[in-house]
Every structure is written in structure tokens, then in C-alpha cells.
Amino acid sequence: MTELHDKALAGSIVCVGLGMTLGAHISQLTRNFIEQADVVFVGASDALVENWVMQMNGNTISLQSFYAENKDRKVSYQQMVDAMMNEIRKGHKVVGAFYGHPGVFAWAPHQVIATAKQQGFHAHMEPGISAEDCMYADMSIDPGTFGIQHYEASQFMMYQRHLDPTAYLILWQLGFVGDLSRSQYKTGHHHRQLLIDVLAESIPLQHQVAIYECPTLPTQKCRIEWVNLADLNHATVYHHSTLVIPPIVKKKYDLATLAKLNDLNSPN
């Protein structure tokens, strides 16, 4: 009985990031984890990416089978966690290989790591290159210059937010903004118009915003399409589209605090 228990606890999981562009963003450490795993679960919507992972480890299982039309994505994510945990409990070295960064807009990797740790297994996450990283490079944005506010698009509408008009506003998963059922992969113009109406409370309708999409193949180019906020509803949007809203006004000094800093930094 003890021997079986020790074997079970020998199971482990590491969730790794494959990056955004096929074959270009994977780290050597991530590749090693995949190649040395007993079983690999791959979460990528592109069959080319899945086949590429299968070339590194023949015992690779796609997580795409857990998705279904009109099925709550939270149910799918929990089933993914259950499938990975079943292999961990068998004493296997498991890898969850996810598109981009495994900890960014990805519920299942966080949950399976938390569950495995609670049950006494080794579990950790290795970072990957995310769409955010690619956006900074493709759009020449330095987050340290103006500051960045990041929100999931539906959550931005659902909760009261205090926007900083001097910073960038980034809204993710624009394609299914407003989907409260978590079962759609594209919402309509009425949902997007509501987002425009919410944004218009703080942002002029003539303000230029960008739709950004990161390339997933080396032969592709990123999409950066600029439109007025008022015209956002006429633009083509996909589930992976990101809305990038530049600062509306210039930064202003806090003169009182700046005076105190000057006093602190002045020679005695």
C-alpha cells in the first residue's frame, strides 16, 4: 500500500508556454520538459502547433476535444484539469503545453497546479512569450513610458473601473466581448456597441484605437488596424483580437509630491 502511495506522489506537472509564433518562441527549458514528459497535454487551437508538439513527444493529447459548441468554457477547463490530474495520480511526469504564456488568460494551468500542490504533488509553471509581449514589440510600446491598464473586455464592461486617461488601455478577447454564458466564440455588433458606449463615457469617439492580432506562423504578419472608436463596430474582429487604446491626455506632474521629492534629493 505504501509503495503504491509513493508511486502516486511521484507524479508531477509543469505547465509551459509555447509562445505565440510556431517554433520561434519556445525556450530550451520548455522543449526539455516536453521531450522528457511521460504524457503531454497540448492546449492550442492550431493543428499545426499540436502536430509540432507531437513531434517532440509522441504521447501528446490534444485538449481541444473538451470544447464543444454552446458548452460553458468553464466546464471544458475543469475537464482539462481532471484529465491532467488523472495522469499525475498515476505517477506520471505530466506537461501541460499551452499557447502563449500558460498563466495569461488561461484558467486550467493555474487550477491544475493549485490542485496538484494541494494533493502533495510537485507542480510549477514555466513562462512563455505572450500576445502582450509581442504587442509591445510590434507596436513599439514601452509600458514604462505611459503605463498600461489591462482588462479582459467583458470584465471591463461588467465592473466599475477608474480609467487613467494618461495610460494605455488594453482590452483582451474583444471577439466575444459581453458573452456572459462563456459558451460563445464570437459575439455580435450589439455587444460591441455596448462596449463603445461604455468607453465613450471617458474616451472621445474620434480617438484613434487599434485592433491588434499577433501572428501565429512565421510567414504571417501582425495585424494593426487603426480606426476611430466610433467606427470600431464596423471593423472585422476575431476572438483573439485585442483592442489597444493609446493615452487620451498627457501626463501631469503631481506638483506637491514633486516638490517633496526635490527636497529629498537636494544636497544638504
* Residues acting as catalytic residues: 73, 77, 99
CA distances from 149 to 152, 243, 247 (A): 10, 12, 10
Phi and psi torsions of 223, nearest 5° = -105, 125
> What is the C-alpha end-to-end distance of the chain, expressed in Å?
73
Phi and psi torsions of 30, nearest 5° = -65, -45
- H-type alpha helices, the chain: 2-9, 28-36, 47-56, 73-89, 107-118, 131-138, 143-146, 153-158, 189-200, 255-265
